[in-house]
Amino acid sequence: MPPHVVNSHVVYTALDLVGTFAFAISGAVAARQRRLDLFGIAAVAFTVACGGGIVRDVCIGAVPPAGLSNWRYLAASLCAAALTILAYPKIRRLRHSVLLFDAIGLGLFAVSGAQKALTYGHSAELAILLGIVSAVGGGVMRDVMLSRVPAILEREIYASAALLGAVIQVGLHYAGWSNAWTPWLATLACVTVRLASLYFGWRLPVFGEARENGVRERP
Amino acid sequence: MPPHVVNSHVVYTALDLVGTFAFAISGAVAARQRRLDLFGIAAVAFTVACGGGIVRDVCIGAVPPAGLSNWRYLAASLCAAALTILAYPKIRRLRHSVLLFDAIGLGLFAVSGAQKALTYGHSAELAILLGIVSAVGGGVMRDVMLSRVPAILEREIYASAALLGAVIQVGLHYAGWSNAWTPWLATLACVTVRLASLYFGWRLPVFGEARENGVRERP
Amino acid sequence: MPPHVVNSHVVYTALDLVGTFAFAISGAVAARQRRLDLFGIAAVAFTVACGGGIVRDVCIGAVPPAGLSNWRYLAASLCAAALTILAYPKIRRLRHSVLLFDAIGLGLFAVSGAQKALTYGHSAELAILLGIVSAVGGGVMRDVMLSRVPAILEREIYASAALLGAVIQVGLHYAGWSNAWTPWLATLACVTVRLASLYFGWRLPVFGEARENGVRERP
């Protein structure tokens, strides 16, 4: 995260770790349900929390990636894995809180990912794409590692909410608004859309019949 | 793409976008058949079209990758996704054209990927490997995201045709031939082999019985 | 591999190639059992042998990655693939040797991966994480490409042994021990734990019931 966006704001840093923690909880829960072992749970938790940011950092040349070199991300992921192992029934009861924190993480990662790309001097298009990657990349890796089609590709408003957050942040940045305000507005928009889609059951359209075959796929 | 290979040739740029578009169509069709939603179709289309080139660029330090920073690739992918959603029955009827464009894309990506690595001053081995990665990496990612074994690993002459194109391009480059001609020759060789393998049903050999088990795999 | 760790020691270089070869054998065997074709076997063998190191090199900015630019790794992988195709019944009888070489490869890759990150001036945490990635990354990619849950996440002491080797190497490095000795000690510890876990059937704990569902996963 660029210093003037994150580190100077204690609140922002705290929220960033809350997002990391929420993402790691979602990874640890999925890994535990698939009966992975101790190491597997920790590895999937860390991957969900930091995978997207690592890809973003590699793509903009910010190596080593913050997710690997900043110990706070690893610590937050391991805490989430430990909590999921030790207090699983409690985590189950907290499912609504987990979804809430996950939505906050989604918004924060989309916005701070886009902003980091802008801070490194890249274009609006790249910033928006990498904002989405930061927010949803870890979840895609989790699903790929658990050998299933990534959930964000077939259900719910999730990546679309990240897209909205990244677009607002980049748009306001180019419009010259102060960086003191824009990340909060953009994050709020993303979180609101995500939570509203959960509450109202909004989904993106799916097309065609279940059993269409025709165009031979590229092998 | 290095300026003297691609940008100075309008034809080459146009063909590069044709290849991107054909690859994106193949991704969008596969995603639609798996009933992914609107975002999923766009994401898989973009991944097939640009995934291989992004890995290549990250491996040679050309960051940010052209697939993310050059808006034409994203635009071509989104057009292909939109077309697949809106005109699916037509796309089905055009299956032979899609295979043709896909073969052209394969040849162009293999050759321009190898040439880009050479232009950045890397060795012949690296150029050949990255030519293959550019051409088939996106298709592998598509299959991994759709939770199936990558088709290029079990059927048909596909990656092998990309290998041929990359080898010819690198060989002629080292033989001192002019860059004005070699990409066309190498691409033509790759496309010809690919189309001939489709027409004649050529396949690479598979070995052993279906139910062999013996060596314990590395976990 | 940093010069003073690897290249100056002929023994070490030889062992590094032995590890590459053993990893490639494991990849080629898995690919052959899944009935991939000639290209698929070579591609999976190379991925298992070099995938982890390539990710490590990209993350520390050592591009192009050694696994792609040093022809010895490709050559060792292709030899392993050819041997698996031509002499499969012999490979089956050598299963215990393959496991032994694989354990040696695990130790060497974990330790040399961690040491390479230290040589590039990175922190202890990053060195340990990248040591694990170097050692197990290729195996994870193999399982993802073959569309199954990575074995290291659900069985046996494997990544944990790599963690031990990386931690010992980094710890002794910070304690000021000579690099002439520490890689051997750290590798020996990793290999010993790995082989003992195979012999005694040690496993990491798995938690919960097979059919727990509760926390809604993050999509």
Q: What is the pLDDT of residues C65-86, one digit of tens each?
A: 999 998 999 999 999 999 989 9
d(CA C1, CA B218): 23
Residues 94-133 of A with CB under 8 A from B: 117, 122-123, 125-126, 129-130
d(CA B121, CA B130): 13
How far A25 CA sits from the closest chain C CA (Å)?
Answer: 9
Query: For an interface test with A, which of B20, B32, B37 has the most A Cβ atoms less than 10 Å from its Cβ?
Result: B37
The predicted-structure confidence for C83-140, as pLDDT tens digits, reads as follows 989 988 887 777 777 788 788 889 999 998 999 899 888 999 999 999 999 999 998 9
Task: Using the predicted structure, report yes or no on whether residue C1 has a pLDDT greater than 90.
Answer: no
Question: Between chains, do C92 and B152 touch, taking CB under 8 Å as contact?
Answer: no
How much is the pLDDT for B209? 58
Question: Between chains, do A58 and B54 touch, taking CB under 8 Å as contact?
Answer: no
Question: Between chains, do B212 and C85 touch, taking CB under 8 Å as contact?
Answer: no
How far A65 CA sits from the closest chain C CA (Å)?
Answer: 7
- A&C contacts, CB < 8 Å: 119
Whether A146 has its CB under 8 Å from any CB of chain C: the answer is yes
**What number is the ipTM of this complex?**
0.83
d(CA A6, CA A13): 6
d(CA B70, CA C158): 42
Q: If you average pLDDT over residues A12-35, what whole number do you get?
A: 85
Nearest C-alpha neighbor of B136 from the set C26, A147, C47:
C47
Say which of B58, B148, B154 has its CB closest to residue C36.
Answer: B154
d(CA A168, CA A194): 15
Structure tokens at B198: 């489709």
Question: Which residue does chain A place closest to B89, by CA atoms?
Answer: A214
Per residue, the 3-state secondary structure of B53-101, as one string, reads HHHHHHHCCCCCCHHHHCHHHHHHHHHHHHHHHHCHHHHHHCHHHHHHH
How much is the pLDDT for B42? 93
Question: Between chains, do B26 and A218 touch, taking CB under 8 Å as contact?
Answer: yes
Binned average pLDDT, 10 residues per bin, chain B of 219 residues: 48 78 89 87 93 93 90 94 87 77 88 90 93 92 88 80 94 86 91 91 75 46
Structural domain boundaries of chain A? 10-200
